[in-house]
Amino acid sequence: MTAKFDRISITYKLSFETPFHCGTGLREGLIDRTIVRDHDDFLYMPGSTIKGVVREHCERLARMYSDENDAVMRDLIASPHDGKKALFALGRHTSMITRIFGSHYAPGHLFFEDARQEDTDKEQYKKGGGADGYKDLQTELYTQVRLDRPTRTAVAGALYTSEFGTKDVILHGSITGWLRCTPIAGVEEGPTYSLLLLLAGLHLVDRIGGNKSAGKGKCRCEVGKVTVNGKDYEKDDWQPWFNHLDKLADYTKVGADLEVEEE
C-alpha cells in the first residue's frame, strides 16, 4: 500500500458568536487597528489566517495521538517557522501535518480560500444609507488601554481604538486541491489519515482572530460537503468518520512503512 493523491474539496461555515478582529496592521483616522475588508468594503477572513488556526488544532491532535515515547515523531510535528526542526525532518518520512499544510522542504497542495459573506448576506448592508449603504453596520469600535502587567496600571499614552466585526456575521469558505496520504488500514469506506486529521482540526475551530484572551473571535466552524475524487459526502456521510480518530495513532506506528515517497 502506498501513498496517493486525492483531489478534495471541503466547504465550511464560520458563525461568529462574539465580535472578531482580523487586523490590517494599518491605522485609519481615529481608528488605530482596522479590520480587513475586500475591494467592495465587505468583511472577510483571509485563508492564511484560517490555515494557521486549523494547523494549530491539527498539530495538537497529532501530538495527542502520537506515541509519547516517540520523540522523533513529536519533533516532526513542529511549527512551520522552526527552521531547525525543519532541517531535522529532512529525509525522514512525511508527517500528516506536512501532507496537509506543507513544510520548508515539501510544499502543500491544498488551497485555503478566503472565507467571505454570501451575496444574500451582503444585500442587507446595501439597501439605503447613501452610496455605501449600511456597510458600517458590519463593524463596531472598542477603545482599550494597554496595561503594565507588573503594576496592573494603564500605560501612559497607550489608549487605542480597535475595529471589530459584529457578532452573528457568517462567513463561508472552502479548502480545495490535492491531498496525499494513505488509506486507513481496516477502513474500507472512509478518509485517509490526513483527511481525517484535517476534518477534525476544522471541527475544533472555536476562536479566530485577535483579542481571543478577551473573549473576542468566538465562533462555530461547521463543515458542509466533503468531495473526494469527485464523490460527494454530505454531513451524514462523513460525520461517522470521526469514529476512527483513534486510528490516527497507527500512523506513528506503521505510517513510515506505508507512506512511500514516489519520485
What ranges do the domains of the chain cover?
Answer: 4-23+43-137+169-258
**Which residues, including other chains, have CB under 8 Å from residue 95's CB and lie 6 or more apart?**
62, 73, 76, 77, 89
Residues paired with residue 160 on neighbouring β-strands, in sequence order:
144
- Taking the C-alpha atoms of residue 213 and residue 230, their distance in angstroms, rounded to an integer, is 41
C-alpha cell at 83: 527552521
Helix 248-258 to helix 193-204 angle, to the nearest 10 degrees? 150
Look at the pTM and tell me if it is higher than 0.85.
Answer: no
Per-residue b/e over 24-37, b at no fewer than 16 CB within 10 Å? eeeeeeeebbbbbb
Average pLDDT over residues 92-112: 81
Average pLDDT over residues 130-154: 81
pLDDT in tens, 23-77: 888 888 888 889 999 999 999 999 999 999 999 999 888 888 876 545 545 555 5
User: Phi/psi at 131 (nearest 5 deg)?
Assistant: -65, -35
